[in-house]
Structure 1
């Protein structure tokens, strides 16, 4: 399989539970969104889309990513939930893409090697889904890769991804197991406090 696979960094969330834009929080002197975008870029996808919110927050996020080779696209209604960001990312992809790999801006310990493992498994298997699971418990969480023939099924609404596609195609999915430490994300002030304590920031 040599058709292009693109990465998509979902960075349009409004961080309601956190109370401040999580994308712009700094860990080790680098914002979470920049850290996430650099990790996806280093995995050597054919291209990478960054989905950002409208307005001032979107301008601020674009500014911290301005020197990176990203294709920016705006999610016009991030208030409707993560589902809108998925669709905005898909709409920004060029024609002829074989698959899209979705990563979240608030998972700073997912590395380029982790993203590359998902990409390589897709190259090997051409599975309709390549899903990540974390640790011995096998917790399923992004990054996830979807083959292009599934793009039309991104009909979900609300604050989640296409869980119905994952259920429908789970028997055909390929899985990458990642370390449990990479699962940490930021949704609440308590999450951020724990994460910065663990990271020594």
Structure 2
């Protein structure tokens, strides 16, 4: 596999959920543990996780090994976590796969496919699900500073991606990028309605 790091953005307070999503349990594991394992099992050699709200609880409850990155500015939006995480990726890695903590149905195979795209020379690789872009996303090291510079508020890499369409490789992936924003969202994926 490629020389790639993984990055979980997990700093938010989860206001609509009622607790930080890093602590939320799904299928017997926290969303944080699940995201870290997905990146590791997908071929990321080191996984970093950006923590903010509930950071101490998340660290003490975690069972998966990861490198914590503390974002004290988490309340200022997702961009602050992306900036902190990208800045913390060790220089030995050629790129990083970024995922969100609140998408528990993303599969390790999606990460594997992005890592493979990176090994084939992709500068930016984005998972797609039935033709729609989602997470995770891979970014080559040479673009990390520009991505961080363009991130603001709750806008992460979107502006960089929009401005550089020629760099982007879309990668069809299995899985489901559904967000778990509320307890009802979690209940819906744990107990799906009959078809």
Q: Is TM more than 0.5 here?
A: yes
Does the CA-based 8 Å contact 1:34-1:64 persist in structure 2? no
Structure 1 residue 44 displacement after superposition: 2.3
- 1:122 paired with 2:118, answer yes
Structure 1 residue 196 displacement after superposition: 2.3
Q: How many residue pairs end up in the alignment?
A: 192
RMSD between superposed Cα atoms in Å? 2.0
> Which one of 45, 48, 58 corresponds to residue 61 of structure 1?
58
Matching residue of 1:183: 177
Deviating 4+ runs (over 4 angstroms): none
Matching residue of 2:186: 192
Matching residue of 2:144: 151
Distance 1:52 1:71 in 2: 10
Distance 1:43 1:199 in 2: 30
- Of 78-87 and 19-28, more deviation after overlay is shown by 19-28
Does the CA-based 8 Å contact 1:128-1:169 persist in structure 2? no
SS in 1 for 2:164: helix
SS in 2 for 1:73: strand
Structure 1 residue 47 displacement after superposition: 1.0
Structure 2 portions without partners, runs of 5+ = none
What is the TM-score with the length of structure 1 in the denominator?
A: 0.87
Structure 1 residue 119 displacement after superposition: 0.5
What is the TM-score with the length of structure 2 in the denominator?
A: 0.90
Structure 1 residue 52 displacement after superposition: 0.8
SS in 1 for 2:134: strand
Deviation readout 1:163-195 (Å, 9 max, x if unpaired): 11111222231111123x511121133322322
Q: 1:58 to 1:87 in 2, by over 3 A?
A: same
- 1:88 paired with 2:87, answer no
- 1:99 paired with 2:92, answer no
Distance 2:154 2:192 in 1: 27
Does the CA-based 8 Å contact 2:109-2:173 persist in structure 1? no
- 1:32 paired with 2:31, answer yes
